[in-house]
Structure 1
Amino acid sequence: MAHDELLALARATAVTAGELAHRRRIEGVEIADHKSSPVDVVTMADRETELLIRSLIADVRPDDGFLGEEGGAGRGASGLTWVVDPIDGTVNYLYGIPHWAVSIAVVEGDPDPLTWRALAGCVTNPVTGEIYTATEAGGAFSANQQLKVPDFHSLEQALVGTGFSYDSAERARQGEVVAGLLPLVRDIRRFGAASLDLCAVATGRLNGYFERGLKPWDHAAAALVAREAGAVVTGLDGAPASADFALAAAPGLADPLQRVLRELRV
């Protein structure tokens, strides 16, 4: 299947799943479980939405693998794996903050950010109706407009996004990094949904973004969107973005931002 066909499936599935999740939010949120800590919640809608996504994809591509935040991994025979976050920004979703997303990507190879090749991806915010899409070497788009990261070089004028761990000790360390970075940039934003942060870099709403601890489903689709829009997307020292570290920024900002973060021992 060509990249465009994979993207069409990702987009249609994300939109349908987003409609379900949005409807469930209006009806009322029920917490199903906790994951890494008492503040790291899973809602019934997370699970129901992921099951719908898995079903819709399997109907069309039964031989593909699937890696979802809630349902774990399942290997396929095709060499392709769908990497899915049914609701990215679950705490925002829980509180009724209209900043959460459905994220769906398809990758070639093992579902490991250090080795995979992302082929197509879609991130949608069902509340605002914004849809971000990208294919490998095919560009990134929103509302049928091709995205291009604005040229940007000034660390002092940069608006930078980040995210925090659910682990309290790790959050304390991340707070120290933010405290060190804040005087050096225009300002810092923490919106609570990594996929939308990465897409914000693609649109120019953020000049840069960094975070430790991202799971594969947090960035599989959105990192492709940012990269295809012209952002530098990287880990430390040129490694691929992963749980160890992920940074996305306008090309002229990526090196100075990463240099400062290294000095702050991110």
Structure 2
Amino acid sequence: MVRDERPAHLGVHRTKSTDLDVVTVMDTRSEELLRARLADARSDDAVLGEEVGLSGGTSGLSWVLDPIDGTVNYLYDLPAYAVSVAVVVGDPTVPGAWSPVAGAVMNPRTDEVFHARAGGGAHLLTAEDSRPLRVATGEDLDGALLATGFSYDREVRVGQAAVIADLLPRVRDVRRMGAAALDLCHVAAGRVDGYWERGCHAWDVAAGMLVVTEAGGLVSGLGLDEPASEDMVVAAGSRLHPVLREELQRLVQGRPRTTPPS
């Protein structure tokens, strides 16, 4: 529906947190369809969706939905957007209080479905085949291809630009593709070595986080024991993750670099 019924002259339906944070009519239609399907199949479960918010349930499970992740890409018809669906235990509105048990992220333009279940590994399903996913194994920052995203808040972007300015000369390169769920899945597939972003919500990352961890990677916040949250999401393979996380922590805190990162 998201791909085939996209209006030829799609426009902005409304904005949310800032004038840059846009919603299209298709975001709303996609979430309505997901909620209808879940109401038929899992009527006792709660649902948290980006556009509608939280509806209660009694089962202890909550479905976390991003009906179109990468809405600006979708608005401009760039082929990097996704539908992200996860089911979690715990309260998905409280960072660290929930854990995904299954999830899927689909890019309708490439017909790729990245999916995982807790303890069952992560896989990429295409029209041709299905294959397991594994994160990249590099550990050096200078050879890393990284991905990131930027806030819809123009003032926050100033600080994000400073982080990029420091890191860019010291890594292989940085990609900004515009869809957090896909960025996480690209980490899981080894297409990028690491990813970080500030301002992500549960619906942006719930499915992608599980895909990364089931592919052998790590996902955290900025601190060693901090969960991924709106403050920061850091994802990478197990050897690169602590290097990237510590560098980001230093940059965000404004501490000088005393020794070259390993």
Which among 142, 152, 158 is matched to residue 124 of structure 2? 142
Name the residue aligned to 2:170: 184
Aligned-residue offset at 1:150: 2.4
Choose 241-250 or 93-102, whichever is displaced more. Answer: 241-250
Per-residue displacement from partner, 1:62-106 (whole Å, max 9, x unpaired)? 110000000111110111000000000000000010000000000
Name the residue aligned to 1:4: none
Aligned-residue offset at 1:160: 0.5
Which among 87, 93, 109 is matched to residue 74 of structure 2? 93
Kindly indicate whether the alpha-carbon contact (under 8 Å) linking 2:123 and 2:131 is maintained by their aligned counterparts in 1: yes
Quote the Cα distance in structure 2 between the aligned partners of 1:184 and 1:256.
13
Quote the Cα distance in structure 2 between the aligned partners of 1:225 and 1:97.
23
Three-state SS of the structure 2 residue aligned to 1:156 is helix
Instruction: Kindly indicate whether residue 250 of structure 2 is the aligned counterpart of residue 263 of structure 1.
Output: yes
Aligned-residue offset at 1:49: 0.6
Kindly indicate whether the alpha-carbon contact (under 8 Å) linking 1:207 and 1:250 is maintained by their aligned counterparts in 2: yes
Per-residue displacement from partner, 1:3-36 (whole Å, max 9, x unpaired)? xxxxxxxxxxxxxxxxx11123254413210011
Kindly indicate whether the alpha-carbon contact (under 8 Å) linking 2:136 and 2:187 is maintained by their aligned counterparts in 1: no
Quote the Cα distance in structure 2 between the aligned partners of 1:260 and 1:150.
19
Quote the Cα distance in structure 2 between the aligned partners of 1:116 and 1:263.
27
Q: What is the 5 A alignment of 1:40-59?
A: 40-59=21-40
Q: What is the 5 A alignment of 1:5-154?
A: 20-25=1-6, 27-111=8-92, 112-143=94-125, 144-154=130-140
Name the residue aligned to 1:17: none
Quote the Cα distance in structure 2 between the aligned partners of 1:52 and 1:27.
21
Aligned-residue offset at 1:135: 0.3
Choose 142-151 or 61-70, whichever is displaced more. Answer: 142-151
Amino acid at match of 2:104: C
Amino acid at match of 2:250: E
CA RMSD, 1 decimal: 1.1
Name the residue aligned to 1:252: 239
Name the residue aligned to 1:16: none
The structure whose residues are more often helix, as a share, is 1
Q: What is the 5 A alignment of 1:173-212?
A: 173-212=159-198
Per-residue displacement from partner, 1:219-248 (whole Å, max 9, x unpaired)? 000010011001111112221111111100
Kindly indicate whether the alpha-carbon contact (under 8 Å) linking 1:212 and 1:244 is maintained by their aligned counterparts in 2: yes
Aligned-residue offset at 1:151: 1.2
Quote the Cα distance in structure 1 between the aligned partners of 2:72 and 2:161.
19
Identity %: 49
Aligned-residue offset at 1:41: 0.6
Name the residue aligned to 1:241: 228
Three-state SS of the structure 1 residue aligned to 2:209 is helix
Name the residue aligned to 1:3: none
Kindly indicate whether the alpha-carbon contact (under 8 Å) linking 1:160 and 1:188 is maintained by their aligned counterparts in 2: yes
Aligned-residue offset at 1:256: 1.1
Quote the Cα distance in structure 2 between the aligned partners of 1:135 and 1:249.
19
Kindly indicate whether the alpha-carbon contact (under 8 Å) linking 1:113 and 1:220 is maintained by their aligned counterparts in 2: no
Quote the Cα distance in structure 2 between the aligned partners of 1:115 and 1:255.
23
How many equivalent residue pairs?
A: 247
Kindly indicate whether the alpha-carbon contact (under 8 Å) linking 1:197 and 1:209 is maintained by their aligned counterparts in 2: yes
Amino acid at match of 1:74: S
Amino acid at match of 1:174: Q
With structure 2 as the length reference, what TM-score do the two structures score?
Answer: 0.92
Quote the Cα distance in structure 2 between the aligned partners of 1:45 and 1:28.
12
Choose 223-232 or 20-29, whichever is displaced more. Answer: 20-29
Per-residue displacement from partner, 1:167-226 (whole Å, max 9, x unpaired)? 000011100111011111111010000000000000111100001110110000001001
Quote the Cα distance in structure 2 between the aligned partners of 1:52 and 1:168.
32
Amino acid at match of 2:227: P
